[in-house]
Chain A
Amino acid sequence: MNATQPILSARGLVKRYGRVTALDQADFDLYPGEILAVIGDNGAGKSSLIKALSGAVSPDEGEIRLDGKPIHFRSPMDARAAGIETVYQNLALSPALSIADNMFLGREIRKPGVLGSVFRMLDRPAMERTAREKLSELGLMTIQNISQAVETLSGGQRQGVAVARAAAFGSKVIIMDEPTAALGVKESRRVLDLIQDVKARGMPIVLISHNMPHVFEVADRIHIHRLGRRLAVIKPSDYSMSDAVALMTGAMKPPADVLAA
C-alpha cells in the first residue's frame, strides 16, 4: 500500500511547550485520496501534530513534506495557500463577525472594477451567495440570516460554519480536529457524509476524533497517537474498536507489523 508517495508526511516532529513535550519525534503519513483518522488520549498531542502540519505552530525539530517537497509554514496562511485547510478544535471563528465574513476571513472577495481595486470594497453579495451555497451543500442547517453574527449561532451551527469553510476552500488536504464533538446525532451524520463526499472528490482528509464508531466507519487507516508520537497505524478492517482503544491507552502492546506502517 505504500507504493504511492504520501501527499503529506512528517518525520521526527518535536514540539515543546516549556517543560511539556507535546510532540516527541512524531511521524505522520497521509496518502492521496484516503481518510486517515488520528486517535489518542487527551493530551496525547493530536492537536499539536495537526497544528504543526497546518502552520499554526512551528515545530522545534523535524521535517514536513507536501507532495514530497520539504515545506516550512510560517503561518496558517502559508498552509492555506498551499491547499491545506484546517478545522481547529476551538473552531477559530470570530464571534462578532457574520457567517459570511468568517468564511472569507483572510481571503475576502473584492468588488470588480475601481470599487474593488481603489476603494478595496468587499463584494458582500458574492461572499454571502457563496457562503449560503456552501452551507446548504453541507445541509447542516437552515440559517435564517447569513449576515448574522457567529456568536448568535448554537455550538453545532458554529461547527458547521467551520467545517463548511474548510470544505469550501481546501484543495489538497483537509484536516479536521474533532469536527463532530459538539454536534447532535443528525448533524454528526451530515459531517460524516460530507467527509465521504470530499473523499469522493479525491481529496484526502485527516480526521481527529474520540468517537470510535465514527472513526471505524469512515477511516481507511487509523493513526494511533500516544505520548506525543505515532505508536501504530492500523486498518479498521483488521482490528476491533476495543483493540484500538487498548493500543491507544497502552493496555496492549502494538504488534510488530503495524509499528512501521
Chain B
Amino acid sequence: MTQPTPASSPSQDFERVLPASPAEVASFEGHGKTFLQRAREFLHGNPAAVPLIVLLASLVIFGLLVGSKFFSAFALTLILQQVAITGIVAAAQTLVILTAGIDLSVGAIMVLSSVVMGQFTFRYGLPPELSILCGFAVGALCGFINGFLVAYVRLPAFIVTLGMWQVILATNFLYSANETIRAQEISANAPILQFFGENFRLGGAVFTYGVIVFVALVLALWYVLNHTAWGRHVYAIGDDEQAAELSGVRVKPILVSVYVLSGLICALAGWAMIGRLGSVSPTAGQFANIESITAVVIGGISLFGGRGSILGTMFGALIVGVFALGLRLWGTDPQWTYLMIGLLIIAAVAIDQWIRKAAA
C-alpha cells in the first residue's frame, strides 16, 4: 500500500483528489532550526550529556584553580572513593525516580542492612557470609514493603517512604541498642564485612572495591534499563502509568520489583559503607537520602519520571565529589560546597524543564 489507491470508494466528495496527491509526507527536518533548538533536541535525546559536560568543565576549572594537587591520579580516585557509597544509593534512587516515585528511606535501609550484617555476625555468631545475606534480605524486605504500599495500596511514594524512613531508622536504633561494632573487632573476626574498603593501586591511582562495584553496578543497570523489556517497562511506567498498563505492562509487579531492587542495592551500599568506615555504626549515613536525590537531580533524571539516564546519576554523584574536594583543596569554607551544590540542583531542574519543552 505505498500508493494511496483507496480500496474503498471515498464517502466524501472532497476526498476524490486524494489519489493525485503526492505520497510522501512533508519533511521539516533540517531547515529553520536555531542552534538552541538543535541543542535542545540533542540534549533531549542524550539526557546524560548535560551532567557529563558539567563534570568535565568542573574538572578543568578546578584543575586550573588548584593545579596538580587536584589534577592527580590520587586526588581523582579519592573523589571516586568519596562518592562511591552515595553513588550506589543514588543508583537505587534512580530506579525509583524513573517510575515517577521517590524513596526517602534509602539511607535508613542502608544503615539497617549494615547493622544486621554486623550484629548477626557478632551478636549471634553467624558466619559473616550468612549475615551479609541476611542484610540483603532485610534490604529486600524493606523495599518490598515500600513497593507493596505504593503499587497495591496505591499510597503516594513520598508518604510511604517518609513513614518507612522513620520506622526503619527507629528499628535500627532499637535493635542495635545504639551500639557500634569497632573496626579492629571486624578486621580480626569478619574481614569480609570490610571487603569493599580494600583497595589496589595503579600508579598513583587508588581503587577500592567499593569504587569498582559502584561503577559496575551503574553499567549493569544502564544495560538493564536500556536493553531489556523490564527496563523499558520501568521507563514506560514513569512516563505514563495508565498508558503503560493499557499497552501491556504489568505495572504493579514491576513497581514492586523496582522497590525491592532498590532495597537490595541499599543493602549493597550498607556493606560497602562498612568497608569505607571500617566499623558498623547505627548513626552512619544520616544524609544518604538527600545526597542520593541530589546526585539524581544533578544527573538530569526528571523527578516527574520516565526520563534520564542512569549514567547521568553517576556523573551527578561525581560532580558533587569534584566540587567538595576541589573547593576544599582550594581552601574555601566548606559552606561554599553546599552553596554551589544548591545552585547546581536548581540549575539542573531548570535545564530539565527547558529540555522537556523540546518534545512539546
Most chain A C-beta atoms within 10 Å of own C-beta, residue among B18, B23, B229: B229
Partner-binding segment picked from A6-14, A17-25, A137-145: A137-145
Contact of B1 with A97 in the complex, beta carbons under 8 Å: no
Q: Considering only CB atoms, which chain B residue lies closest to A143 in the complex?
A: B25
- Asked whether, in the complex, the Cβ of A189 is within 8 Å of the Cβ of B359, the reply is no
Tell me if A90 is interfacial: C-beta within 8 Å of chain B: yes
User: Smallest CB–CB gap between B7 and chain A, Å?
Assistant: 5
A90 to B306, CA, bound (A): 18
* Residue contact B246 to A142, C-beta cutoff 8 Å: no
Known: A94-B239, A149-B359. A142 touches B4 (CB 8 A): no
Residues of A with C-beta under 8 A to B242: 90, 92
Q: Decide yes or no whether A213 CB sits under 8 A from chain B.
A: yes
B223-247 contacts to A, CB under 8 A, are: 223-224, 227-230, 232-233, 235-236, 239-240, 242-247
A96-B307, A149-B359 in contact; A189/B246 too (CB < 8 A)? no
Of the candidates A141, A165, A189, A213, the one having the most CB atoms from chain B within 10 angstroms of its own CB is A189
- The answer to whether residues A192 and B8 also contact, given A92-B246, A96-B306, A105-B233 and a CB cut-off of 8 A, is yes
CA distance A258 to B71 in the complex (A): 85
Which stretch (A36-44, A63-71, A214-222, A225-233) binds chain B? Answer: A214-222
- Complex interface: stretch among B9-17, B182-190, B318-326: B9-17
Chain B residue numbers with a CB within 8 Å of A105 are: 232-233, 236, 244, 247-249
The answer to whether A235 has its CB under 8 Å from any CB of chain B is: no
Question: In chain A, what residue has the closest Cβ to B10?
Answer: A189
Contact between chains at A95 and B7 (CB < 8 Å): no
A102: B residues at CB distance < 8 A: 247
Interface residue from B4, B11, B14, B359 paired with A151 (Cβ < 8 Å):
B359
Q: Do A97 and B229 contact each other (CB < 8 Å), given the known contacts A76-B245, A189-B6?
A: no
Does B335 lie at the interface of the complex (its beta carbon under 8 Å from any beta carbon of A)?
no
Q: Output the least CB separation between B233 and chain A (Å).
A: 7
Given A92-B243, A95-B240, A108-B229, A137-B306 contact (CB < 8 Å): no
| In contact, A138 and B227 (Cβ under 8 angstroms) | no
CB distance from B78 to the nearest CB of A (A): 34
Give complex CA distance A233, B140 in Å: 55
A77 touches B248 (CB 8 A): yes
Do B15 and A185 touch across chains, with their CB atoms under 8 A apart? Answer: yes
Known: A76-B246, A105-B249, A189-B10. A94 touches B235 (CB 8 A): yes
Closest 8 CB pairs of A and B: A106-B248, A92-B246, A217-B11, A108-B229, A151-B359, A94-B236, A213-B11, A120-B228
